[in-house]
Chain A
């Protein structure tokens, strides 16, 4: 585990560097179990940084989310680096961006934090309802300890961690300029991707399952916008000519949207679980993406976000690729 003070100290050093513009981390949110992505601009700001099982947001997204607006005449763009606190999955997102040439290595400073998993808020709320005042949470071996207004409580991590964390194979950052804390052990050998039960169901049952889930979709696109891998400047969802997908919100269009997104993530998804976390309709998008992650690994032996020099999966071809699943 990394001590909060170690992170803050390191953040202070990094933002004091001349070649660093800011460091993006997490701080306590305004209520309940929430944390906010937080921009540390000065060494003093670093005092608010936290790292706990509540720190779900994958901050790597902000590398590509940054808006590059036209500058006033004569003004030069700020080319200093962006520093980021990254968990295992977040670092994989950065690696995948590097492999796709979506970012440049010199652009970022990655501060790696070994992670023992972040909570699934819905699971936690079932055990203890979210309240107005913020709570502290910390990893404590097999459990996670919370400080609630009426005292401390501990829950077994299996019961409250996000699904993607339960099948996480990369709790330690795979790439970092500065690694903090001690490495932690991986949870899983990847054999269980959390989709096995659904895989056993018949095609009709699986269709019925997704039909019910997708019919609730509000098309707010929080899943797309929170996804580090969804960084196209021109998304097919906004195209009117050709009009790939109607704006009408109904089961058919919603399904088209989710399938299209899932396919664009094949061999790219790093299983950070953000899409599922942010969905206001509680659609288990992780299952969809985890299934594809599993297929790509089993059929092609490929994993996204582990090698910045790798050729992106969808851009590669190997004559030895298996074909036995092709109809």
Chain B
């Protein structure tokens, strides 16, 4: 696999090379929020002084709202949306790339979700290893690391004056070759990068042993802990919308005049409407049930189905919760419950 070095004084050329054939997205500041947005003259973004985006880069492959097709009321045909140009997501944190590789399983499971797969195929992920983990990061408890390459095409490591770039997929390999003229060859930068990643790993404060959680959860369906941990829940969607592995969506026909479009948009299992039947019956009537489902889906059902935990330890649900519902706290209570 190709290894390269990007001098920081060559940054603009690097950006130019990436935007030539594709749309480049990178983390930008929007108000107090950090999110991925297309690169432009006004929106240059920056990789420095950025811990992680508040909204995960799952938007690359699973946008919050997308039009599946358009139609005319009374018409006979549907019009499919135009295909998108390939995208490069620059500065994706390793946890979020892992999340995408985890979620691939469900979108490509019984039926291939072409909306998802098409974007996934066309999107190149250039990761940025973490120097300074955020306070609620716990990726090392979930087989991740500040330098994990799972799901990425290229891993970048900030060495101060330059970035070390390592291709970690065939796609990454060809990309680095394609833009090779703005990069220098690497010598022993790989070793420096390993050192930085190791240091970052040691800075992660929050940890939990997750090995036995699935087995525990199987036995805790009616445990009083669920009421305790969900008592303060407001039932908003912050934890799920900002989760890099949450992938539920709703489908709605939206009609204005005679023009209609079938859209799909993120949905959240924390909303009571999520499971509401047409009859009025709701099999998950309380926030206790919904909180339990959120944890069980990530640490029990997904494991049963796809043999992997659908949580990467990015800590966003912890940080964004208005009432301090903390998944590490919930998991430790699960471990203590029996």
A61 to B266, CA, bound (A): 26
Q: Mark B226-237, 1 if CB is under 8 A from A, else 0.
A: 000001101111
Answer yes or no: A65 CB below 8 A from chain B CBs: yes
Answer yes or no: B16 CB below 8 A from chain A CBs: no
Main secondary structure of the interface of B (DSSP, over half): loop
Contact B135 A130 (CB under 8 A): yes
Answer yes or no: B250 CB below 8 A from chain A CBs: yes
Q: Mark B33-75, 1 if CB is under 8 A from A, else 0.
A: 1010000000000000000001100000000110000000000
A203 to B136, CA, bound (A): 41
B266 and chain A: residue at smallest CB distance: A249
Q: Mark A275-303, 1 if CB is under 8 A from B, else 0.
A: 00110111100000000000000000000
Answer yes or no: A10 CB below 8 A from chain B CBs: no
Contact A216 B33 (CB under 8 A): yes
Main secondary structure of the interface of A (DSSP, over half): loop
| Residue numbers in A under 8 Å from B320 (CB-CB) | 280
Contact A277 B322 (CB under 8 A): yes
Separation in Å of the B48 CB from the closest CB of chain A? 16
Contact B265 A282 (CB under 8 A): no
A69 to B289, CA, bound (A): 12
Contact B236 A222 (CB under 8 A): yes
A29 to B328, CA, bound (A): 12
Separation in Å of the A44 CB from the closest CB of chain B? 15
Q: State which of A31-39, A81-89, A96-104 sits at the interface with chain B.
A: A31-39
Answer yes or no: B273 CB below 8 A from chain A CBs: yes
A62 and chain B: residue at smallest CB distance: B232
| Residue numbers in A under 8 Å from B54 (CB-CB) | 280-281
| Residue numbers in B under 8 Å from A238 (CB-CB) | 273
Query: A132 contacts which of B135, B250, B271 (Cβ < 8 Å)?
Result: B135
Contact A36 B64 (CB under 8 A): no
A96 to B151, CA, bound (A): 52
Interface size class of B (residues with CB under 8 A): 35 or more
| Residue numbers in A under 8 Å from B242 (CB-CB) | 218, 280
Separation in Å of the A67 CB from the closest CB of chain B? 5
A32 and chain B: residue at smallest CB distance: B135
Answer yes or no: A314 CB below 8 A from chain B CBs: no
Contact A30 B324 (CB under 8 A): yes
**Given that A132-B135, A247-B265, A283-B31 are contacting pairs, would A61 and B234 also be in contact in the complex, using a CB cutoff of 8 Å?**
yes
A-B contact count (CB 8 A): 117
Answer yes or no: A124 CB below 8 A from chain B CBs: no
Query: B206 contacts which of A57, A132, A218, A247 (Cβ < 8 Å)?
Result: A132
Query: A249 contacts which of B65, B234, B271, B286 (Cβ < 8 Å)?
Result: B65
| Residue numbers in B under 8 Å from A247 (CB-CB) | 65, 250, 252, 254, 263, 265
Contact B237 A221 (CB under 8 A): yes
Answer yes or no: A304 CB below 8 A from chain B CBs: no
A222 to B241, CA, bound (A): 11
Separation in Å of the B86 CB from the closest CB of chain A? 24
**Given that A221-B236, A280-B320 are contacting pairs, would A248 and B287 also be in contact in the complex, using a CB cutoff of 8 Å?**
no
Answer yes or no: B283 CB below 8 A from chain A CBs: no
Contact B31 A36 (CB under 8 A): no
B31 and chain A: residue at smallest CB distance: A282
Query: B235 contacts which of A37, A130, A225, A283 (Cβ < 8 Å)?
Result: A225
Separation in Å of the A286 CB from the closest CB of chain B? 14
A206 to B273, CA, bound (A): 34
A39 to B227, CA, bound (A): 11
Which residues of A from 29 to 72 have beta carbons under 8 Å from B? 29-32, 34-39, 57, 61-62, 65, 67, 69
Query: B64 contacts which of A39, A122, A249, A274 (Cβ < 8 Å)?
Result: A249
| Residue numbers in B under 8 Å from A225 (CB-CB) | 234-236
| Residue numbers in B under 8 Å from A243 (CB-CB) | 254
Which residues of B from 223 to 262 have beta carbons under 8 Å from A? 231-232, 234-238, 241-242, 250, 252, 254
Among A57, A213, A281, max chain B CB count under 10 A is at A281
A52 to B324, CA, bound (A): 16
B231 and chain A: residue at smallest CB distance: A39
Answer yes or no: B188 CB below 8 A from chain A CBs: no
Among A38, A224, A225, max chain B CB count under 10 A is at A225
Query: B254 contacts which of A246, A278, A280 (Cβ < 8 Å)?
Result: A246
Answer yes or no: B80 CB below 8 A from chain A CBs: no
Given contacts A35-B324, A69-B286, A280-B33, 9 further A-B contacts (CB under 8 A): A30-B326, A212-B31, A219-B237, A220-B237, A221-B236, A225-B234, A248-B252, A277-B322, A278-B234
The 8 closest A-B pairs by CB, nearest first: A282-B32, A278-B322, A222-B236, A220-B237, A37-B232, A225-B234, A29-B324, A30-B326
The 26 sampled A-B contact pairs (Cβ below 8 Å) are A30-B318, A31-B206, A31-B318, A37-B231, A38-B232, A62-B232, A65-B234, A67-B285, A69-B285, A69-B286, A132-B206, A213-B31, A218-B64, A218-B241, A221-B236, A222-B236, A222-B238, A226-B234, A246-B252, A246-B254, A248-B65, A278-B322, A280-B33, A280-B242, A282-B31, A283-B31
Which residues does A use to contact B, with CB under 8 Å? 29-32, 34-39, 57, 61-62, 65, 67, 69, 122, 130-132, 212-213, 216, 218-222, 224-226, 238, 240, 243, 246-250, 274, 277-278, 280-283
